Amino acid sequence: MRTALTIAAFAAGAFAVPYKRDVLTNYDVVYVTDVVTVTAGQLPTQVVSKFHYGHGGNSHSTTVIEQVSTEAKSTYQAPPPSSTPEPSTSTSVYVAPQPSTTEAPSSTYVAPSSSTPAYSSSAASAAPTSYQDICVEHHNIHRRNHTVDDIAWSDELASSAQQIAESCVYAHNTDVAGGGYGQNIAAGVEATNISAIITDLFYNGEEPYFAPNYGKEDPDMTEFEKWGHFTQIVWKETTHVGCYTQYCPNGLSNVGTGVSPYFTVCNYKGPGNYAGEYAANVLAPKQEATANWNTGLSN
């Protein structure tokens, strides 16, 4: 079955950067996908006031913990993608891939250019089969490739994600269970395809746009819409994730027609995308074969 969806990117914790972004950026791709990051609950090393811009023209001053890093800057720069479509002007079609026991999708997804960094099969353990394990592994496939520690599953984050997803209202909500987490949300994708969201869309679809920025403390934030999800996935200081996918039989609010009523929420402990901290937290990748939605999964 062919499903036409849209994708959108939300300003993911980009503090102290004076740029405003549109409420919704339609790419005519697959998912309605947003990211929002709030203040991380880290022990303070230096408390400062930073300015945070978000979509819809909303902005506010926030007191956050400023991380102090001595990480050396990376000098890697990959060539810009040659085949990845420019989000603001072109369209593509993507249908989330199904496991081998279900009907195969009828449309195709054009992968990013070969410059997309790679997955090393030697890093993976036994093939994950559960939703939880697939979610964690498809984050860690990319984190290992960027030489940062694996993240772990958090039942607490998954519980708050479940409460939000069960509302069947497609919107950010970082107030549940006290907040303090980053958040990715997606619509129109079944739980069996969580790996496609993480790998094919967030990572493969965005990393080539960020590639020229490795080693920069503050990348050009006018391009943030194109790579903000990717940087959260590989952010070095992120330690835990918890996700939940809810089927909404009565429909999912705040999405357009033609979007299947599935609502996925992923919450992150140790949110990323802090201004001035990209060089220390988004490290250049190794260069091997590109991972896809089914990488590391059992057939």
Q: What is the CATH number of the domain that holds 235?
A: 3.40.33.10
Mean pLDDT computed over 173-186: 88
Reference 285, options 202, 232, 208; nearest CA is 208
Q: Is residue 163 part of a domain?
A: yes
Q: What angle do CA 135, 278, 161 make, to 5 degrees?
A: 30
Reference 195, options 140, 237, 145, 151; nearest CA is 140
For residue 288, the model assigns a pLDDT of 66
Asked if 35 and 139 sit in the same domain, the reply is no
The pTM for the full model equals 0.62
Placement of tokens 């989330």 in the chain: 96
Task: Give strand pairing partners of 55.
Answer: 21
Q: What angle do CA 104, 118, 78 make, to 5 degrees?
A: 120
Q: What tokens appear for 77 in the block? A: 């720069």
For residue 175, the model assigns a pLDDT of 93
Q: Which domain holds residue 197?
A: 131-280
Asked if 35 and 151 sit in the same domain, the reply is no
Q: Is residue 19 part of a domain?
A: no
Asked if 158 and 273 sit in the same domain, the reply is yes
Tell me which H or E stretch contains 35.
Answer: strand 32-36
pLDDT averaged over the chain? 69
Asked if 139 and 276 sit in the same domain, the reply is yes
Q: Is residue 46 part of a domain?
A: yes
Q: Is the pLDDT of residue 90 over 50?
A: no
For residue 19, the model assigns a pLDDT of 30
Which is more confidently placed, 187 or 117? Answer: 187
Asked if 40 and 164 sit in the same domain, the reply is no
Q: Is residue 173 part of a domain?
A: yes
Asked if 168 and 260 sit in the same domain, the reply is yes
Tally the domains of the chain: 2
Q: Is residue 189 part of a domain?
A: yes
Asked if 41 and 166 sit in the same domain, the reply is no
Alpha-carbon dihedral of residues 31, 18, 207, 97, nearest 10 degrees? -10
Asked if 175 and 275 sit in the same domain, the reply is yes
Asked if 140 and 271 sit in the same domain, the reply is yes
Q: Is residue 245 part of a domain?
A: yes
Q: State residue 256 phi and psi, 5-degree precision.
A: -75, 175
Reference 208, options 230, 225, 186; nearest CA is 230
Asked if 269 and 150 sit in the same domain, the reply is yes
Least confident range of 3-12, 56-65, 74-83, 193-202: 56-65
Which is more confidently placed, 19 or 216? Answer: 216
The CB density around residue 19, as the number of other CB atoms within 10 Å, is: 12
Q: Is residue 97 part of a domain?
A: no
Q: Is residue 188 part of a domain?
A: yes
Least confident range of 70-79, 144-153, 178-187, 275-284: 70-79
3-state helix, strand, coil in the chain (%, to 5): 25, 15, 60
- How far apart, in whole angstroms, are the C-alpha atoms of residue 252 and residue 246? 10
Asked if 61 and 138 sit in the same domain, the reply is no
For residue 109, the model assigns a pLDDT of 35
